[in-house]
A and B are shown apart, each in its own frame.
Chain A
Amino acid sequence: MHLIELNQLVKIYKNDEVETPVLHGLTFSIDKGEFVAIMGPSGSGKSTLLHVIGFLDEYTSGSYRFEDQEANTYTGDDTAHIRNKKLGFVFQSFNLLPHATVFENVQLPLLYSDIPESEWEKRTRESIEKVGLSHRTDFDVTRLSGGEKQRVAIARALVCSPDVIFADEPTGNLDSKSGGSVMQTLQDLNEKHGHTIILITHETYTAEHAKRIIRIKDGLVESDTEVSQRRHTDGGILMK
């Protein structure tokens, strides 16, 4: 059983009777524990793909099975619970709650979960620890640097112990040094803690932190390759 299994997945946007096909029939699968980068130029449909497999958007035809169940059989509340329990999101623009502390931001998904309240504080602190921001726990997020903000977002994605973490251009708004540390964090989560990570990016050097790269062009899979020589970030400098 694959964690994620796509078969001829098609997504067509309909806007005022104008149909815009974005995904033309994608077929691939991702297993537990993988670190996959989905690459493509802008307009290739990679963000749409992430939204569909992240249960944020619906697909038009084809099949998307998550944990062996067809995704469009879930109701609205089911998808909310899946997003909460099984998926974690890291966005390009961080999407943190302003006027709130690191702790409050990381705790946010727990408010919507069925995890008992007694575990909330422990889980929140553990998540912050995993991304190395324990010393910033009670800081207001507006006081953090871009890289730190993105690591808060990663901690938030981790807090409900999801099966998959989706990262949509996580380094897009960061300078190369903080971008590097964010990628390092994601890599650690995959290697040391066994989290499945799906990364969306248009930069090759970012994609090469992953173990596998799926290239998408014009809504179709262009290539699907293992990364022979992975990049690691050491002290903010990209190394091969």
Chain B
Amino acid sequence: MRFKYSLKTAFKGLEQNRARSFLTILGIVIGVTSIILVMSLGQGAQNLILDQVKGLGSRTIIVGAGREPTGPSDAGQIFSDSLKQKDYDLLQRRENTPSVKMIMPIVFGSASAAYQSETYSLTIFGASPLFGNIFDLSLKSGTFFTEEDIRANSKYVIIGNKVREQLFGADDAVGQTIRMKGYNFRVIGVLAEQGQSAFNFDEAAIIPYTTAQNYVLGIKYFNRFVAEATTDALVDSAADEIKLTLRESHNITDTTKDDFFVITQVTLASSLSAITSVLTIFLAAVAAISLVVGGIGIMNIMLVSVTERTKEIGLRKALGATYRNILTQFLLEAVMLTGIGGITGILLGAALSWGISTAIRSFSTIAWTFSFPVSAAILGLVVSGAIGLIFGLYPARTAARKSPIDALRYE
């Protein structure tokens, strides 16, 4: 039989039971919708994370105190005070770290800043003058602090753009004094607006690390070292040099007992995308269960339909339809059902994902972008078609095997 007419016949078969066909494909629609939604949101999350990681800079190396958390039972916080001034001194020596162009220590904590009657909660970063250089930050106005300020424990602060907006409004901030943790800080610079990045510098105050350690936070260690490799190609060797130096300094011989961790853009991106991929696959697999349930629904309804149309099958056979003709007709009906369900699900899933992306953007500051992986759409179509074939095969064979005379006699 000509394919065009097979399609027409299959479509007519479905059309005669519109309500039933609709209810039957709901299972497939829901299954495909959830798969598309999960994959699309997963891709969006991945893009968001990778964008933020890119903000880190390709040559940047971050050294953290403590063990990189690898699981919930891992007490990574035990060694949180492991990075000391001695380590900083060693790391700064060129003979220890020839591939490192520059390195600075960072401490941080949260505080609230006050100017006249305005207050604002922000993150305090204690850093060195290299800060702007390493994180590629530029000043909107004012200057950075100097090595002299580090030695002198100067109470100078550079504030993020949002902090300036909240505390000073339209007024000029540079030269004014703000109060944090009971100390007065002179604003010597304002950062240009950063937008979304790995660190939220718009809502931060940057002060000399010595001031932060001795006055604001009262600690003798560093939270992080941030280094920059001399070239992109030397990032890995720079990371290795830092590890060796720190192990030497901490007397560590077993690399699994490191009390610090080293992150580069590449390692961070790969470990974060591994996490989102696993999550996406897991959620998509859960959603796929509903597709199987939907497929069983299709099989059930197709069997009912075959029984109902026994007489029609008998007639078609009497008029010359072969086993193959009847098989094709009912398989096409099943595939058409799941195909329509699949396409609807893809559109619905994309629409929902788009809606959620828009909602995230308008109700939060997260720079979420809608992304629709073509692979998900193809997967959705292929899977729904395959479900039609698999779950339609048994009913279609039942139909095609009927003897014409038994089928014609059926009442």
Measured CB to CB, the residues of A under 8 A from B are 51, 54, 56-57, 76-77, 80-81, 83-85, 89, 91, 95, 97, 99-100, 108-109, 111-113, 117, 156, 160
Contacts and interface: CB of A to CB of B under 8 A. Distances in A.
Contact of A80 (B12, B311, B322): B322
Nearest to A156: B319
A80 B16 contact: no
B319 A108 contact: yes
Chain B contact surface mostly: helix
A51 B12 contact: no
B25 to A, nearest CB: 20
16 contacts: A54-B318, A56-B405, A56-B408, A57-B405, A80-B321, A81-B320, A81-B322, A89-B319, A111-B1, A111-B2, A111-B5, A111-B9, A112-B1, A112-B320, A112-B325, A160-B320
Interface residues of B, number: 24
A91 B5 contact: no
A146 B323 CA distance: 31
B408 A113 contact: no
B5 A95 contact: no
Interface in B45-96: none
B334 to A, nearest CB: 20
B315 interface: yes
A51 B318 CA distance: 10
Interface in B283-322: 311-312, 314-322
Contacts of A56: 318, 404-405, 408
B322 A76 contact: yes
Given A57-B405, A80-B320, A95 B311 contact: yes
Contact of A108 (B2, B316, B323, B403): B316
B408 A91 contact: yes
Contact of B320 (A84, A97, A100, A117): A84
A77 B322 CA distance: 6
Contact of A99 (B16, B315, B316, B323): B16
B320 A113 contact: yes
A97 B319 CA distance: 12
A100 B314 CA distance: 17
A84 B325 CA distance: 13
Given A56-B404, A77-B323, A99-B16, 12 more contacts: A51-B405, A54-B318, A80-B322, A81-B320, A83-B317, A84-B320, A97-B315, A108-B316, A109-B319, A112-B320, A112-B325, A156-B319
Contacts of B316: 108, 112
Contacts of A112: 1, 316, 319-322, 325
A117 B2 CA distance: 9
A111 B403 CA distance: 20
A113 B321 CA distance: 9
Nearest to A96: B315
A16 to B, nearest CB: 15
B174 to A, nearest CB: 82
Nearest to A48: B405
Which of A54, A85, A99, A108 is packed against the most chain B CB atoms within 10 Å?
A108
A234 to B, nearest CB: 32
A51 B405 CA distance: 7
A57 B158 CA distance: 96
- Lowest 3 A-B CB distances belong to which pairs? A84-B320, A112-B320, A80-B322
A160 B324 CA distance: 20
Interface string B378-411: 0000000000000000000000000111001000
A89 B5 CA distance: 22
Which of B312, B314, B322, B323 is packed against the most chain A CB atoms within 10 Å?
B322
Interface string B1-14: 11001000100100
Nearest to A86: B320
A71 to B, nearest CB: 14
Contacts of B312: 97
A239 to B, nearest CB: 33
B358 to A, nearest CB: 44
